[in-house]
Amino acid sequence: MNSKGVLRDNVLLGLGLVLMIAALYLIFVYVPTEREMGVVQRIFYFHVPLAWVSLLAFLLVFICSILYLWKRAMKWDILAHASAEVGVVFITLVLITGTIWAKSIWGVWWTWDARLTATLVLWLTYLAYLLVRNYATDRAQGARFAAVLGIIGFIDVPFVALAVNLWRTQHPPALIFEGGITSPMLLAMLVSMAAFTVLYILMVIQSASMKNLETEIKSLKDT
Amino acid sequence: MENMSFLFAAYTIIWVVVFGYVFYIYRKQRKLQKEIDLLKKTVDKLEIS
């Protein structure tokens, strides 16, 4: 990696650390405990940003998949692959933290609610996206299949985002957009979102540069 | 108090998974570095011979 890349990564790492420490301070010290749900409501301050970053990750997969099928340049496939990998990590955490919150508030770990089901479908789709690449015998074929899956899979994203408005669901609505949360809560949520966005960018950069290196080594070995 | 354990579990799992992924990238990076070193040695040997 060149010196510009190292500097960029260090700046992102520093920014991410500062934002994450600020987010943790706001979540556990600054924000008052919510009256109805109690302390368990604090799960939301990581659950919502994780969901936001997951959807952002799959948006990038969608865009890069289109660009790969159009231009056939390997860089788009590598970026899509890296974003999907990080997205799957984050959406897994969304599902886990969601079930923990559901158990404490609803008394059940899981219910076939529209938002939950759509999120589970999204998780399975992008898990398949990652598996397709591993099982494909040819690198280019795997990239093509994955790109198609990356585009089709994105159809589920609007359903995940709008499920609470389209159907009667048990899942709480997006209170941020409806003015249903207090200023300290909103501040904690926004700082946490910023921290996870920086973390996502950093992870994608690292993962993509790793995959790039892997591809180069493989082509060197082949020659 | 039971709710506290749910909160603790959620945040613990998040950090374990995030650090787990970072560790996975780090290990992969080390593996790739070893492969690069091996390739360099092979190229050097070929140049000498």
List chain B residues with CB under 8 Å of A196: none
Instruction: List Cα–Cα distances, A192 to A46, A188, B2, in angstroms.
Output: 7, 6, 25
Nearest chain A residue to B21, by CA: A89
Angle between helices A114-135 and A74-105 (to 10 degrees): 140
Report CB contact under 8 Å: A217, B13: no
Residue range A41-88, pLDDT digits in tens: 999 999 999 999 999 999 999 999 999 999 999 999 999 999 999 999
Question: Number of H helices and number of E strands within chain A?
Answer: 8, 0
For residue A131, what is the enclosing H or E element? helix A114-135
Structure tokens given for B45: 């040997």
pLDDT digit string (tens) for chain A, length 223 residues: 677 888 888 999 999 999 999 999 999 999 988 888 889 999 999 999 999 999 999 999 999 999 999 999 999 999 999 999 999 999 999 999 999 999 998 889 998 988 999 999 999 999 999 999 888 888 888 899 999 999 999 999 998 888 777 777 777 776 666 666 788 899 999 999 999 999 999 999 999 999 988 888 887 777 6
Q: What's the pTM value of the predicted model, to 2 decimals?
A: 0.90
Angle between helices A44-71 and A74-105 (to 10 degrees): 160
Q: Cβ(A56)–Cβ(A197) under 8 Å?
A: yes
List chain B residues with CB under 8 Å of A213: 32, 36
Q: Measured between CB atoms, which of B7, B22, B35 is closest to A40?
A: B7
Q: Measured between CB atoms, which of A43, A207, A210 is closest to B7?
A: A43
For residue A16, what is the enclosing H or E element? helix A3-25
Q: Which amino acid is at A187?
A: L
Instruction: For chain B, say whether A6 makes contact (Cβ under 8 Å).
Output: no
Pick from B15, B5, B17, B14: which is nearest to A103 by CA? B5
Report CB contact under 8 Å: B13, A92: no
Structure tokens given for A148: 């198609």
Structure tokens given for A173: 């609505």
> How large is the ipTM?
0.87
**DSSP secondary structure letters along chain B:** -HHHHHHHHHHHHHHHHHHHHHHHHHHHHHHHHHHHHHHHHHHHHHHH-
Q: Cβ(A189)–Cβ(A100) under 8 Å?
A: no
Task: State the pLDDT at residue B43.
Answer: 82
Phi–psi pair at A34, nearest 5 degrees: -65, 140
Instruction: For chain B, say whether A218 makes contact (Cβ under 8 Å).
Output: no
Phi–psi pair at B14, nearest 5 degrees: -55, -50
A17/A214 Cα distance (integer angstroms): 28
Instruction: For chain B, say whether A101 makes contact (Cβ under 8 Å).
Output: yes
Residue B21, min C-alpha distance to chain A (Å): 8
Residue range A113-124, pLDDT digits in tens: 889 999 999 999
Mean pLDDT (chain A, rounded): 90
Q: Measured between CB atoms, which of A104, A207, A217 is closest to B3?
A: A104
Query: What residues contact residue A35 under an 8 Å CB cut-off, 6+ apart?
Result: none
Block residue for tokens 């091996």:
B38
What's the gap between Cα A150 and its chain centre?
14
Report CB contact under 8 Å: B14, A50: yes
Residue range B4-36, pLDDT digits in tens: 899 999 999 999 999 999 999 989 988 988 888
The full set of domain ranges for chain B reads 21-49
Q: Measured between CB atoms, which of B4, B7, B13 is closest to A96?
A: B13
